[in-house]
Amino acid sequence: MRLVPLAVAAVVAVSACTACTAGRQAAPSLGAQPRPSGSASQALPAATLELWHGFSTDAEVKAFEEAIASFNTKFAQITVKATKGVQDDQITQAIRGGKAPDVAASFTTDNVAQWCRSGSFQDLTPVIEQDGIDLSVLPEVARAYTRFEGRQCTLPLLADAYGLYYNKALMKGEQPPRTLSELTALTKKLTVRDAKGEIKVAGFIPSVQYYENSPSHLGPMVGATWYNDDGTSAIGSDPAWKRLLTWQKELIDWYGHDKLERFRKGLGDEWSAEHPFFKGKVAMILDGEWRNAMIAGEAKGLDYGTAPLPVADDRPDLYGSGFTAGTVIGVPKGAKHPQQAWELVKHLSTDTDSLVTLSNALRNVPTTKASMESPKLSKNANFQTFLDIFAHPKTSTLPASVNSVFNQEAMAAFMAKWEKGSAPDLDAGLKGVDKLINDKLKLSGG
């Protein structure tokens, strides 16, 4: 299982001098030293690397150990000490304090822009070019969420892709919806109420407050854009957002906001065996590929299917795409052994067998074309859905921004007010979100 949380604590701005303190000699950096001649495995000197990552369960840690072991078959002279359960704020503070690890991996892309702009993570472009790595092996969307302002300061490790899960028993032979109008009709057909009109089974919950229904995950259903070319907010001017929120509000009003809220608040925890989809209380949900692994572990008898998310009726070209983001990995400024660290980053992010090992254990999408097509990759029809979504040319991500978390929270807060009926003027509300985002952008230096 993997999450892509909003790492609110990690939005702290990082000063440009992140790897040095008064009187301390700056650590070596990538490209600052001549590359060793001969094969890298023979020429690189011995070193002990510190690798920090956010994975913490036994299965996750074991998968990382196996991927590192395959690295050690190439570089026997390099020892890797992995520290589990590390969050973005810890990485940021370590870099600022001159105690950076050699390699760091993050669950979220929320801080890539800040890390790239500040130089907290080193630009990998020189060594990517020097080693002749063709980044076209990655879908363009994965390249997009790992770089900012021309700096490729991270590489994708594993990805999350979002689609539709549906309960086949509750669907009673119905096919998964392809458009928002089909989703609305099927939601109404599958919803069950008691004699008082209270919801017993929901066809689909459109509320932004429900589990994975964040603005970034919902936006691709209508092709919504977050930013203009100059980095300012496009939410108030892009009609796709208005289309999405109008559809959302109409379906919530059909349920009855208060009735839907009572039902939602009575549902089980998202990360437990009491998940309402497992219990047949919700027929269709928006969720990530990792939910397949949770179903296999917590709801073995569940008969379910997966499909791409429904899309706006006037945008059939979007069907098959969705939202993606994922784990990123890079070399922080201040790494003691940057050349050896780069070899580890390169191995973990581009080696097919390593990516397949991690994907099979963690059930996230591997990020290179070769790893997605590997015969060693464990997959069935329900997992293949997410491989296809990730590879779709119109799959999108949240564009990098130094205020990524703030921007998402501002939009989510407005959507919660809108669905409740506390923001009657949709146009004015969306323009208000623009103002919040643009004001924050000015404070952050653009």
- Whether the CB-CB separation of 292 and 163 falls below 8 Å is answered with no
As a whole number of angstroms, the distance between CA 102 and CA 338 comes to: 7
Question: Which of 290, 156, 151, 271 shows the shortest CA–CA distance to 211?
Answer: 271
- Whether the CB-CB separation of 221 and 180 falls below 8 Å is answered with yes
Strand partners, 167: 304
Whether residues 119 and 260 share a domain: the answer is no
Amino acid present at 207: S
Domain region containing 369: 8-160+324-391
As a whole number of angstroms, the distance between CA 221 and CA 179 comes to: 9
Whether residues 279 and 356 share a domain: the answer is no
Indicate whether 1 belongs to any domain.
no
As a whole number of angstroms, the distance between CA 183 and CA 203 comes to: 9
pLDDT for res 20 = 39
Indicate whether 443 belongs to any domain.
no
Indicate whether 434 belongs to any domain.
no
> 248 in helix, strand or coil?
helix
Report DSSP letters for 49-99, one per residue: EEEE----SHHHHHHHHHHHHHHHTT-TTEEEEEE-S--HHHHHHHHHTT-
pLDDT for res 15 = 36
Question: Which of 369, 307, 320, 318 shows the shortest CA–CA distance to 159?
Answer: 369
Amino acid present at 293: A
As a whole number of angstroms, the distance between CA 3 and CA 382 comes to: 19
Whether residues 335 and 203 share a domain: the answer is no
pLDDT for res 60 = 86
pLDDT for res 393 = 96
As a whole number of angstroms, the distance between CA 86 and CA 51 comes to: 10
Whether residues 120 and 48 share a domain: the answer is yes
As a whole number of angstroms, the distance between CA 44 and CA 38 comes to: 9
Whether residues 23 and 147 share a domain: the answer is yes
pTM of this prediction?
0.90
Whether residues 173 and 312 share a domain: the answer is yes
Indicate whether 118 belongs to any domain.
yes
Report DSSP letters for 266-332, one per residue: TSPPTTSTT-TTTTTSEEEEEEETTHHHHHHHH-TT--EEEEPPPB-TT-GGGTT--BEEEEEEE-B
| Number of structural domains in the chain | 2
> 34 in helix, strand or coil?
coil
Whether residues 275 and 151 share a domain: the answer is no
Whether residues 170 and 277 share a domain: the answer is yes
Of 391, 415, 434, which residue sits at a domain end?
391
Whether residues 88 and 142 share a domain: the answer is yes
Indicate whether 156 belongs to any domain.
yes
- Whether the CB-CB separation of 203 and 187 falls below 8 Å is answered with yes
Whether residues 301 and 239 share a domain: the answer is yes
- Whether the CB-CB separation of 367 and 76 falls below 8 Å is answered with no
State which residues of the chain have pLDDT below 70: 1-27, 31-42, 446
Indicate whether 101 belongs to any domain.
yes
- In the block, tokens 């301390």 appear at 24
Indicate whether 2 belongs to any domain.
no
Whether residues 264 and 117 share a domain: the answer is no
pLDDT for res 26 = 55
> 423 in helix, strand or coil?
coil
Strand partners, 78: 47
Q: Output the six-digit token pair for 248.
A: 């959302």
Whether residues 183 and 310 share a domain: the answer is yes
pLDDT digits (tens, 9 = 90+) for 404-425: 999 999 999 999 999 999 999 9
Residue 195's CATH number: 3.40.190.10
